[in-house]
Structure 1
Amino acid sequence: MDERDLIVLQTLYKEKNITKTAQQLYISQPALTNRIQLLEKEFGVKIVNRGRRGVQFTPQGEYLAKSAHEMLLTIQKMKENVLNMEDKVTGTLRLGVSTFFTDYLLPNLLKLFKEQYPNIEFKVTTGFSSNIAHLIYNQDVHIGIVKGDFSWNDQKHLLFKETICIASKEKIDIHNLPHLPRIEYHTDPLLKNTIDNWWHEHFTQPPLVSIEVDKADTCKKMVASGLGYAILPSMILNDVDDIYKTDISSLDGKPVVRKTWMLYHKDSLQLNIVKTFVEFMENEFTQK
């Protein structure tokens, strides 16, 4: 078993689908199937079963896939430590970043960092903050940037706070919200809970949801078209001027805010690439 086999096992375990795994690894399905069969022959066990529901790992296959993940992490750390011995800022920085932050802030930040350290490469994983928190917890990424307060006992740095807004094309009376068409969007569970809790504090009726979409950016565009109001983080509304924005507040008058955190493990600061990026981010957001 070589490193390529480890990657095959890890990817197939994640996707549970031969077609998607082959596409992700840029190999043909027959080649992928043959590779799995060779591994089964090497270990003398059945690794996967294929059925209508896709790929199902056997207990032995699940053990091998989890071991492959651990071995790949070990190999990655070996490579990083070897590069780190040169005392240069070089290598691949693995980042896990919330979707909102990726869309609105990350590209320019990576550009600035790359200009200062041209030998850096990036591997960026995006998604809901709850997923990113899981990645940094398992050390699948060096640094996680998440929105919301997560239980985290290692190193973290507050990057910024943003308010949550009621956004509408026309000016509206907040007291009438239960009777007005609302545009909902699929978002991180933490943000949804924050908005739901605020609603239950202020209204006894449920919201009148007229449109549901999968992305906050799509929701914003529909608000701009006058199709209804939405409750959105303020950062996503920074690029629009013709929308009324009203910050929501708790019953005691305090604005409802959402914090953006940078999370990382203290041990990872031993890597020049991680230490340098952490310092870069702290400096960038201290200036703002």
Structure 2
Amino acid sequence: MEDRDWTILKVLYEQRNVTKTAQHLFISQPALTNRIQQIEKQFGVQIVQRKSKGIEFTPEGEYLARCADEMLLKVNHIKDHALNMRNQVSGTLRLGVSNYFTRNKLPGILELFKKNYPDVEFKVVTGWSRDVLNLAYNQRVHIGFVRGDYAWGDRKHLLFEEQICIASRNEINMEELPALSRIDYQTDYLFKSLMNNWWSENYAHPPFIGMEVDKVETCREMVIRGLGYAIVPTLVLEGFTDMHKVTIADKKGQPLIRRTWMYYHEESLQLNLVQAFVQFVQQLDLSRPL
């Protein structure tokens, strides 16, 4: 069976809809239906049954769909090692990257690396740090860029540290914080826990959440316009000099820190591509704009 057939099974299982799967894979619906029929013919089983609201996988189809991830992973590993035998830095580097790092650091890193190694291509998967951690752990990606101190038993490199601060347009009285309007944003659970623990250590009343937005950049824009305060890592405020910032600390007076890491497996360094990229990133000063 071809690689694309395993990809079809994987996406079809995720979407549970032929039309959406065809759109996702950029192929026509008749072509997709034909490939499904060919897969069924090859294995001699029915994979899906059409329902009024989509499709339903048969037990045989469920089994093949679960095999798809494993088969695609094996194919990627085979390709990696085959290219590695050339003793050149080439191939496709698979990266898992946290959302904020993707927007603010990754483009510059990839641009600089591509100048040194023009034969390299990139496949980037973005998401919350916990999801990126799982991708790296299960070797779905070569390297994971993760914000936060997650447990990791293999190789890692500290990229930079950020202090956590209260950001506002104007100076505020910290004792009055519970009564002031706070702007919250979606973030990973580890950072959320860090903020909640600090708050419970310092205030008896919950914060007044005046606004909830999707991204930290949106939150920053609201703060700039004086619509409330926010608790953010300092990197978010990079380049915004007219903001009022108060760094926060734990009960021992130690500043709250958020670290960003590069996680990877020792065995992946056997690939010239991964080794070159790891060494390249280790030489960068990511605490500053690229």
Q: After TM superposition, is the score higher than 0.5? A: yes
1:98 touches 1:132 (CA, 8 Å); kept in 2? yes
Of stretches 214-223 and 7-16 in structure 1, the one that deviates more from structure 2 is 7-16
Q: What is the distance in 2 between the residues matched to 1:40 and 1:269? A: 39
Q: What is the distance in 1 between the residues matched to 2:53 and 2:252? A: 51
User: Are 1:126 and 2:120 an aligned pair?
Assistant: no
User: Are 1:245 and 2:252 an aligned pair?
Assistant: no
SS of the residue aligned with 1:5?
A: helix
Map of 1:262-277 to 2, 5 A cutoff?
Answer: 262-277=262-277
Number of equivalenced pairs: 288
Map of 1:199-278 to 2, 5 A cutoff?
Answer: 199-278=199-278
Q: What is the distance in 2 between the residues matched to 1:198 and 1:12? A: 44
Map of 1:54-133 to 2, 5 A cutoff?
Answer: 54-133=54-133
Cα deviation for residue 239 of structure 1 reads 2.4
Q: What is the distance in 1 between the residues matched to 2:18 and 2:3? A: 19
Relative to structure 1, the CA distance from residue 137 to residue 62 in structure 2 (aligned partners, 3 Å threshold; closer, same or farther) is farther
Aligned letter for 1:117? Y
Aligned letter for 2:69? H
Relative to structure 1, the CA distance from residue 49 to residue 240 in structure 2 (aligned partners, 3 Å threshold; closer, same or farther) is farther
1:171 touches 1:244 (CA, 8 Å); kept in 2? yes
Relative to structure 1, the CA distance from residue 244 to residue 264 in structure 2 (aligned partners, 3 Å threshold; closer, same or farther) is same
Relative to structure 1, the CA distance from residue 252 to residue 154 in structure 2 (aligned partners, 3 Å threshold; closer, same or farther) is same
Instruction: Report Cα offsets for 1:45-95 as digits up to 9, x if no partner.
Output: 332345466544333222211212111111111111111111111111000
Of stretches 25-34 and 243-252 in structure 1, the one that deviates more from structure 2 is 25-34
| Overall identity of the aligned pairs, in % | 53
Q: What is the distance in 1 between the residues matched to 2:124 and 2:29? A: 26
User: Are 1:21 and 2:33 an aligned pair?
Assistant: no
Aligned partner of 1:35 in structure 2 is 35
Aligned letter for 1:259? R
2:105 touches 2:286 (CA, 8 Å); kept in 1? no
Instruction: Report Cα offsets for 1:193-250 as digits up to 9, x if no partner.
Output: 1111111111111110111111111011011111100111111110212211111111
Aligned letter for 2:143? I
Aligned partner of 2:146 in structure 1 is 146
TM-score by length of 2: 0.94
Q: What is the distance in 2 between the residues matched to 1:48 and 1:198? A: 51
Runs of 4+ in structure 1 over 6 Å off: none
SS of the residue aligned with 2:34?
A: helix
Q: What is the distance in 2 between the residues matched to 1:139 and 1:20? A: 27
Question: Which structure 2 segments of 5+ residues have no match?
Answer: none
Alignment root-mean-square deviation, CA = 1.8
Aligned letter for 2:13? Y
Q: What is the distance in 2 between the residues matched to 1:193 and 1:51? A: 43
SS of the residue aligned with 1:161?
A: strand
Relative to structure 1, the CA distance from residue 6 to residue 149 in structure 2 (aligned partners, 3 Å threshold; closer, same or farther) is same
Aligned partner of 1:190 in structure 2 is 190
2:7 touches 2:72 (CA, 8 Å); kept in 1? yes
Instruction: Report Cα offsets for 1:146-170 as digits up to 9, x if no partner.
Output: 0111121111111111111111011
1:104 touches 1:236 (CA, 8 Å); kept in 2? no
Of stretches 258-267 and 70-79 in structure 1, the one that deviates more from structure 2 is 70-79
1:165 touches 1:246 (CA, 8 Å); kept in 2? yes
Q: What is the distance in 2 between the residues matched to 1:230 and 1:152? A: 30
Cα deviation for residue 15 of structure 1 reads 3.2
Cα deviation for residue 36 of structure 1 reads 2.1
SS of the residue aligned with 1:259?
A: strand
Aligned partner of 1:177 in structure 2 is 177
Aligned letter for 1:6? W
Q: What is the distance in 2 between the residues matched to 1:214 and 1:111? A: 28
Question: Which structure 1 segments of 5+ residues have no match?
Answer: none
2:161 touches 2:287 (CA, 8 Å); kept in 1? no
